[in-house]
Amino acid sequence: MNTLRNQVQLIGNLGNNPEIFQFENGKKKATISVATNETYFNSDKEKITNIQWHNVVFFGKTVEIIEKYLQKGKEVAISGKLTYRDYTDKDGNKRYITEIVGSELVMLGSK
C-alpha cells in the first residue's frame, strides 16, 4: 500500500512546448505544463469549464521521449508523485513550488 500514499494520475493537454534543461553532468530534466479541465452545469444550467494547470517534471530516459515527440496541445496521461519545494529568488524572497515528479508518461490522441 505504500505505493498509493503519494500518487497522482492526470490526463490533459500540454499548455506549451516542453522546456528541457541539461545539467553539468549531462543528465536532463523536462518540465511540462499540463491542463486538465472539468465541465459541469451550474444552478442556472450554464455550462462551466474549470481548467487546472499542473507543473510536471521528468528525469531520465523519459526526457528523450518528451524532447522528441511532445509539443503544445498534445494529450498525455501522466503518473507521478506530488512534491513541494522552496527556494530564495534573486531579490531574497522565499518562493514555493508545487509540482508533480513524473514517473510514467503515455501519449494519447492522434499521431
- The pTM (predicted TM-score) of the whole model is 0.84
Length of the chain: 111
* Residue-level pLDDT at 109: 79
User: Residue 1 pLDDT > 70, yes or no?
Assistant: no
CATH architecture of residue range(s) 2-107:
Beta Barrel (2.40)
Q: Tell me what pLDDT residue 111 has.
A: 57
Task: Cell 553532468: give the residue.
Answer: 25
pLDDT-based confidence at residue 30 (cuts at 50, 70, 90): very high
Residue 5's pLDDT is what?
85
The single-letter code of the amino acid at 37 is N
What pLDDT score does 60 carry? Answer: 93
Average pLDDT over every residue of 34-44: 94
The Cα angle at residue 91 between residues 56 and 89, in degrees rounded to 5: 20
